[in-house]
Amino acid sequence: MRGIEGFFTEDEGRWYARLARSLEGGTFVEIGSWKGRSTSFVGPVCNANGTRLVCVDHWNGSRDSLREKYETTLAVENVEATFRANMKALGITVEVMAVPSLIAANDFADAGIDRIFLDGSHDGPSVAADLNAWPAREARPALALVLRTDHLNFEWHSLQTAFIPVSAADALAASFSEAAADNALACMLS
């Protein structure tokens, strides 16, 4: 959404809103919310559809290629407070879990989540850990998990081969606009 700093493009936001629009009721979990730019696209849709929206972020930055940018911002701004203020200003109801992703994953029952959007730390070990922790929490794993991979700093192909059926990833990625597809890869696990 315009006015909220972040890394999400307008095209990605529209795609993300469509992902949320397909769910009525249930639980949608966003891993990695930063200042709420991505949440600003999905939040109104979740709220309108009666979907429980849970945002997970520890707001301590990441170990990925944007680490220095996060550290610089965190030195002068309480980013969690900015996120909460942005959600309040937009009238978005959201449950906040201000903990690391792997701790949050343990708070959900198996098969208790309908959609998961992974956009936390983009370094290889963090992504692999998230991919190991979150799929069991999905009610319908073949449809639910999306991983944003625009600035991964590791050999993506080896991770893709290990975790993601390429045909499923390709099918969902085809629903992106061309600009969004250049910046993100949607991945479904089965």
- Each domain of the chain, given as residue ranges in start order, spans 10-183
Region 10-183: CATH code: 3.40.50.150
pLDDT for res 147: 56
pLDDT at residue 189, as a whole number:
33
Helices 79-90 and 37-49 pack at an angle, to 10 degrees, of 40
Q: Report pLDDT for 33.
A: 94
Chunked mean pLDDT (size 10), the chain, 190 residues:
81 86 91 94 97 95 82 92 97 97 87 83 79 73 50 39 37 40 35
pLDDT of residue 3: 86
Tokens, residue 104: 């949050």
Contacts with 24 (C-beta within 8 Å, 6 or more apart), sequence order: 49, 50, 51
